[in-house]
Amino acid sequence: MFDIGRGLYSLGEAASLIGVRRAQLKRWLYGYDFAHTYAGRKKTYHSEPLWHPAYVDEPTKERTIGFADLLEARIVNEFVKHGVHPLVVRRCLEKAREIFKTDYPLTSTRFCTDGRTIYAEALADIREHELLDLRSSQFAFRDVIKPSLYAGIEYRDGHASRWFPLQRSRSVVIDPDVQFGKPVTTLSQVPTGALYACYLAERKSRSAAAKTFDVSPSEVDAAVRFETSLAREVSH
């Protein structure tokens, strides 16, 4: 069943929020089939998902994921963007889950501090023939694991509870307990998408949009900044 406290996102919404292609996100969370030809024979294989998302067993028309899935995928995406080999990411997740006893280890506070140690252990588990370029992956990982990666994430009991996605601002929040985790203005908890749509409908008048939703013009500004940043991510 859908739980307000877990958040609810379509793959398209999640991909937009974390700046990754929808197809890539789908591969991470649901696995994929691939073919390999050897000695003239073609064989099909299946790559398992990195983890099973919160709503994997829910009967829905469109695949959906939860808040924890969203943030975990965000960290995975940062690793991949910085050149960490996908096999290393997978082994790192497996090792961290084993040690921390949680389905979402990358966004736990323990990983924030112990990530490099876990990474070193994950590398030790990878046989040389499986991944030759361990050295470059190691440098890439050291570059991306730093406090800025977790900037904007608020924790409760060691686990991510809210995310403020705008850099150096807490004016927009993604909270699984509010609006099923859709982005809202922190002060009035109005969905940023609704504010932005009204802003456009009112010929980009922030005062008109603010009056319609009974919020401050600064909240409209925050919503516009956030929604336009999402549009830029998608275009890339």
Question: Which of 24, 43, 65 is where one domain is finished?
Answer: 65
Report yes or no on 132 lying in a domain. Answer: no
Instruction: Place 7 in a pLDDT band, splitting at 50, 70 and 90.
Output: very high
Q: What is the DSSP string of the chain?
A: ---GGG--EEHHHHHHHHT--HHHHHHHHH-EEEEEEETTEEEEEEEPPSS--TTTTS--SS-EE-HHHHHHHHHHHHHHHTT--HHHHHHHHHHHHHHH--S-GGGSHHHHHHHHHHHHHHHHTS-TTT-S-HHHHHHHHHHH-SGGGGTTEEEETTEEEEE--STT--SEEB-TTSGGG--EETTT--BHHHHHHHHHHTTS-HHHHHHHHT--HHHHHHHHHHHHHHHHHHH-
Best mean pLDDT range from 55-64, 99-108, 219-228 = 219-228
Instruction: Place 180 in a pLDDT band, splitting at 50, 70 and 90.
Output: very high
Region of poorest pLDDT, from 40-49, 134-143, 211-220, 227-236:
134-143
Q: How far is CA 176 from the centre of its chain?
A: 13
Cα 185 to Cα 199, 219, 226: the distances in Å are: 14, 6, 10
| 166 touches 222 (CB < 8 A) | yes
Collect all residues with Cβ–Cβ distance below 8 Å to 18 and sequence separation of at least 6: 25, 70, 73, 74, 77
Who has greater pLDDT, 122 or 170?
Answer: 170
Res. 163: pLDDT tops 80: yes
Who has greater pLDDT, 236 or 221?
Answer: 221
Report yes or no on 97 lying in a domain. Answer: no
Instruction: Place 4 in a pLDDT band, splitting at 50, 70 and 90.
Output: low
Report yes or no on 135 lying in a domain. Answer: no
Who has greater pLDDT, 128 or 225?
Answer: 225
Report yes or no on 150 lying in a domain. Answer: no
Say how far apart CA 205 and CA 119 lie, in whole Å: 49
- Return the pLDDT at 124: 75
Report yes or no on 76 lying in a domain. Answer: no
Question: In terms of pTM, does the model score above 0.75?
Answer: yes
Q: What is the mean pLDDT of residues 106-128?
A: 78
Say how far apart CA 6 and CA 224 lie, in whole Å: 26
- Return the pLDDT at 81: 87
Look over the chain and give the mean of its residue pLDDT values, rounded to a whole number: 87
Say how far apart CA 130 and CA 136 lie, in whole Å: 15
Question: Which of 42, 65, 88 is where one domain is finished?
Answer: 65
Q: What is the mean pLDDT of residues 19-48?
A: 89
Report yes or no on 19 lying in a domain. Answer: yes
| The two three-digit tokens of residue 172, written as one number | 């927009």
Q: Give the residues across from 43 on adjacent strands.
A: 36
Q: Which residues of 14-33 are buried (b: 16+ CB within 10 A; e: fewer)?
A: bbbbbbbeeeebbbbbbeee
Q: Give percent of the chain above pLDDT 70.
A: 86
Cα 4 to Cα 70, 181, 187: the distances in Å are: 15, 8, 20
Report yes or no on 31 lying in a domain. Answer: yes
Q: What is the mean pLDDT of residues 48-71?
A: 87
Res. 38: pLDDT tops 90: no
Report yes or no on 226 lying in a domain. Answer: yes
* Domain around 12: 1-65
Q: What is the mean pLDDT of residues 4-29?
A: 92
Q: How many domains does the chain have?
A: 2
